[in-house]
Amino acid sequence: MTMSTTYTRRTKDQLAARVAQDIFDGAVVNLGIGQPTLVANHLPQGREVILQSENGILGMGPAPEAGEEDYDLINAGKQPVTLLPGGSFFHHSDSFAMMRGGHLDICVLGAFQVSATGDLANWHTGEKDAIPAVGGAMDLAIGAKQTWVMMDLLTKQGVSKLVKECTYPLTGIACVKRVYSDLATIECTSQGLKLVDLVDGLSREELEKLVGLPIAAA
Residues in Cβ contact with 104 at an 8 Å cutoff, skipping those fewer than 6 apart: 28, 29, 30, 52, 98, 140, 143, 144, 145
Question: For residues 37 and 77, is the Cβ–Cβ distance under 8 A?
Answer: yes
Strands 176-181 and 57-60 come out as unpaired
Which domains, and CATH codes, for the chain? 12-216 (3.40.1080.10)
In tens digits, the chain (218 residues) has pLDDT values of 455 458 899 999 999 999 999 999 999 999 998 899 999 999 999 999 999 999 999 999 888 999 999 999 999 888 999 999 999 999 999 999 999 999 999 999 999 999 999 999 998 877 776 655 677 899 999 999 999 999 999 999 999 999 999 999 999 999 999 999 999 999 999 999 999 999 999 999 999 999 999 999 98
| pLDDT score recorded for residue 132 | 59
- Told to judge if 54 belongs to the known catalytic residues of this protein, a careful annotator would answer yes
- pLDDT reported for residue 4: 47
What is the CA angle 171-98-78, rounded to 5? 70
The sheet carrying 192-198 orders its strands as 83-89, 57-60, 50-53, 28-31, 106-109, 146-151, 176-181, 184-189, 192-198, 215-216
The catalytically annotated residue of 54, 68, 205, 206 is 54
Q: With a threshold of 0.75, does the pTM exceed it?
A: yes
**At residue 177, what are phi and psi to the nearest 5 degrees?**
-95, -30
